[in-house]
Amino acid sequence: MGVFADHLQTPGVTEVLELRSTFGVMAFHGGYLEKVTDLIAGEVATATLSSYYGVIHSEEAHTHISSKYVDPADSLSLSGFLGHVDTAIALHGYGRDHLRRVILLGGSNRDLAEHLAKQLSEDMPKYEARWVLDDIPRELRGMHPDNPVNRPAKGGVQIELPPTLRWNWDEHNWSDHGGASRAPQVDVFIASLSEAISTWVEP
């Protein structure tokens, strides 16, 4: 039994799997771990008829498993997801004081990363969407071959979202958490990412 298998046995950690098209959206640090990422991923997947895999963490379950240890050999749901999709996007949350309004797009599918970045830049002018790897901190590039987002045949894009995008500024709480309503920038991001997925054409 691997690290991820042990993690999935933790009280308060649950998996979600919805198989639809061969384009997949993931959020395996969802729930109270990297807040709002699973909500965004689930809604984007529904809007674009994409497949969805999520791991939801309760308020008490705070263990963070590095992406390279999220192993399909440890999960029938993740294995089924990765066996079904050929392209993927994974939503994550990160925090850096000097990158407060920067969306980072790493992962192995660089053409898709550029396509997504252009759409996000157009729709969200208050944020910078960085897709050039040299402009992304090394530890946030998501390039490890064992990262689930890179395992599908055509690879994928790891999207790192800053707290400013996930925070409800009017209600001083995380969007959609603790009774807080949906922050407007979250809806804009969901719509923009959904549009980018819907218009994606393999080069």
Domain of 81: which CATH number? 3.40.630.100
Give the mean pLDDT of 14-23.
98
What is the dihedral sign for C-alpha 153, 123, 35, 184?
negative
Q: Is residue 203 part of a domain?
A: no
Please state the domain count of the chain. 1
From the number of C-beta atoms within 10 Å of its C-beta (0-12, 13-18, 19+), residue 71 rates as: middle
pLDDT value at residue 132 = 98
As a whole-number percent, the residues of the chain with pLDDT over 70 amount to 100
> Is 49 a domain residue?
yes
Beta bridge partners of 129: 103
**95: domain range?**
3-198
Measured between alpha carbons, how far is 166 from 172 in angstroms, rounded to an integer? Answer: 11
Residue 126 CB: number of other CB atoms within 10 A?
9
- Predicted TM-score (pTM) of this structure: 0.96
For residue 30, name the pLDDT band (cuts at 50, 70, 90): very high
**Closest by Cα among 64, 80, 2 to 32:** 64
> pLDDT band at 171, cuts 50/70/90?
very high
Q: What is the mean pLDDT of the chain?
A: 96
